[in-house]
Amino acid sequence: MPERLLSVARLIDCIDCTQDPELTQPVMRSAINRAYYAAFLVARDFCEERGFNGSGASHERVANALKRQPAWRTQGSRLQQIKDQRHLADYEWGGTFTAKDVKNVLKQSRSVIAALTST
C-alpha cells in the first residue's frame, strides 16, 4: 500500500495544470500529502515491528521513535520534515508550494522508505 501511495504522489506531480492553473496548488498539495503518508505508513510499521516507542500524537510519535534510535535518527528527522510540509499542504492555505518543494518531499519520502525497507 505505501508504495502505491508514493506512485500516486508521482502521478499527481505529473499532472499538467496549464489548462487550469487554479489547480496547480491543490495538485501539489495532494502530491505532498500522498508522499508523506507513504513514508509514514512504512515508518509506523517499521517502529511497531521493532517495538520502538516515541512520545506525542500518533504521527509525531513515529518520527520521535525513529529519532531516539541512533541508527534511524536521520530517517526520523526526514519524516518530521515531510510531516511538517504535509501539515502546511493540508492546513495552511495561505502559502504557496513550488515544483521544487514537491520534488524535495518526493525525494525525502523515497529515501525514508528505501532506508526502512532495506533492512
Return the pLDDT at 18: 76
Residue 35: CATH number of its domain: 1.20.120
Report the number of distinct structural domains present in the chain. Answer: 1
**Number of Cβ atoms within 10 Å of the Cβ of 90:** 13
Neighbours of 76 (CB within 10 A): 22
Q: What is the pLDDT of residue 1?
A: 64
Q: Which three cell numbers stand for residue 46?
A: 517499521
Amino acid 106: pLDDT: 93
pLDDT confidence of residue 8: 79
- The per-residue pLDDT for 10 is 79
Q: pTM for this structure?
A: 0.88
Q: Which pLDDT belongs to residue 2?
A: 67
Domain limits for position 85: 2-117
Question: One digit per residue, pLDDT tens: the chain, 119 residues?
Answer: 667 777 877 787 787 777 778 888 998 999 999 999 999 999 999 999 999 988 777 899 999 999 999 999 999 999 999 999 999 999 998 989 998 999 999 999 999 999 999 97
Q: How far apart are CA 18 and CA 25, in angstroms?
A: 12
User: CA triplet 49, 55, 58: central angle to 5 degrees?
Assistant: 65
